[in-house]
Amino acid sequence: MTRLARTVLIVVGVVAIAVAGAVAARQIVLAAVPDVSWPLPSWWQWVVEPGHPWRAGVAAACAGLVALICLVLAARVVRRQAPGIKRIDLAGEGGTTTIEAGPVDRYLSRALTRHAAEIEQARVTLYEDGERYDALAVVSARPCDLARLHPRLLQVISDDLRRATGKEIGWLEIEVDRFILDDRGDS
């Protein structure tokens, strides 16, 4: 959802900047050259035509709705990420089993470094999303094609999480905090 929210906000922002630029250009030209006639577009005159106040009201309501949607999407983009899970409860026939999240996070972190030679260090944090889990992997990696590495890492985490808990992974976000350029560990 965050990617969609960012895309919608960017599109609305670009359109708003274009419209504001056109309005500013019109006002500057009208103020600078008094004999220029630059009438308003016909659709604008249709909206503000005397005797039809409902047109302006509908336009204002639509603009308000777009602004509200943009505000909600912006809040989703900038909200703080929920803290990682503290424990995983696994229900069984005779009761429940509780696994602290720390050992599972460390297990998945080691799985990434074990299965991907490009990853020097990894720190995985699980987040709950209904019946599935989402994961954030903060990695130190050698320069590589991250777009091709991502599906491989998702498969590794998915397999190992299923093996450890029987749970499914929803998505994996990879954050590279450092590129390792040589064997000395310089970045």
Task: Write out the E strands in the chain.
Answer: 87-91, 96-100, 119-129, 132-141, 168-179
Express each pLDDT in 153-163 by its tens digit.
Answer: 889 888 988 88
The b/e string for 119-150 (b: 16+ C-beta within 10 A; e otherwise) is: bbebbbbbbbeeeebbbbbbbbbeeeeeeebe
Residue 113 has pLDDT above 60, yes or no: yes
- Does residue 187 belong to any structural domain of this protein? no
Distance of CA 35 to the CA centre of its chain: 50
- Does residue 111 belong to any structural domain of this protein? yes
Express each pLDDT in 18-41 by its tens digit.
Answer: 888 888 888 888 888 888 888 878
Query: Within this chain, do residues 117 and 143 fall inside the same structural domain, yes or no?
Result: yes
Residue 79 has pLDDT above 70, yes or no: no
Query: Within this chain, do residues 95 and 74 fall inside the same structural domain, yes or no?
Result: no
**The pLDDT of residue 65:** 92
* Contact in structure between 104 and 88 (CB atoms under 8 Å): yes
Q: Could you give the percent of the chain with pLDDT greater than 70?
A: 93
Query: Within this chain, do residues 63 and 96 fall inside the same structural domain, yes or no?
Result: no
Instruction: Look up the domain containing 74 and give its range.
Output: 2-78
- Does residue 186 belong to any structural domain of this protein? no
Query: Within this chain, do residues 94 and 72 fall inside the same structural domain, yes or no?
Result: no
- Does residue 12 belong to any structural domain of this protein? yes
| Average pLDDT over all residues of the chain | 82
Express each pLDDT in 115-155 by its tens digit.
Answer: 888 888 999 888 877 777 888 888 888 888 888 888 988 89
Query: Within this chain, do residues 120 and 175 fall inside the same structural domain, yes or no?
Result: yes
Tokens of 63: 């603009």
Query: Within this chain, do residues 56 and 10 fall inside the same structural domain, yes or no?
Result: yes
Query: Within this chain, do residues 57 and 129 fall inside the same structural domain, yes or no?
Result: no
Confidence tier at 83 by pLDDT (50, 70, 90): low
- Does residue 136 belong to any structural domain of this protein? yes
Residue 62 has pLDDT above 70, yes or no: yes
Query: Within this chain, do residues 68 and 95 fall inside the same structural domain, yes or no?
Result: no
Domain count, the chain: 2
Query: Within this chain, do residues 121 and 173 fall inside the same structural domain, yes or no?
Result: yes
